[in-house]
Amino acid sequence: FEPLLSHPSPLVGEGKGEGENSFDLIISNPPYIRTDDIQTLQPEIRDWEPIGALDGGPDGLDFYREIISQAGKFLKTNGILMFELGAGCADKTVRMMKDAGYTDIEVQKDYAGIERIIQARWTN
């Protein structure tokens, strides 16, 4: 087995040049709650989770845009990008991934039938 590396910070702005084209797999659970929806969350989430772990921007897609646009620099050819989706984000996220050059895009539903996980292959 290869060692698993964890990089809990955004891909952009840190380690420029380091790790380029060296990862087979990037997995992320980015913030995906729309800014306006944060106040409607359950108190045990809203009041105890760091805002940075929740707030995905006005449409909930800010971090998806960033990850999709930057991950290709770090993935090996045929590397996989995988992350959790917010409810209702799948179609727009699939479109962003296609536009960025990802292939073999798959969306998986959770036990409640919500499109929850997306994965795609980087072939550029």
Architecture of the domain defined by 23-122: 3-Layer(aba) Sandwich (3.40)
Lowest mean pLDDT among 5-9, 28-32, 97-101, 113-117: 5-9
The pLDDT tens digits for 71-111 are 999 999 999 999 999 889 999 999 999 999 999 999 999 99
Domain ranges for the chain? 23-122
Whether the CB-CB separation of 94 and 63 falls below 8 Å is answered with: no
Which position has the token pair 């290869």? Answer: 2
pTM score, whole prediction: 0.80
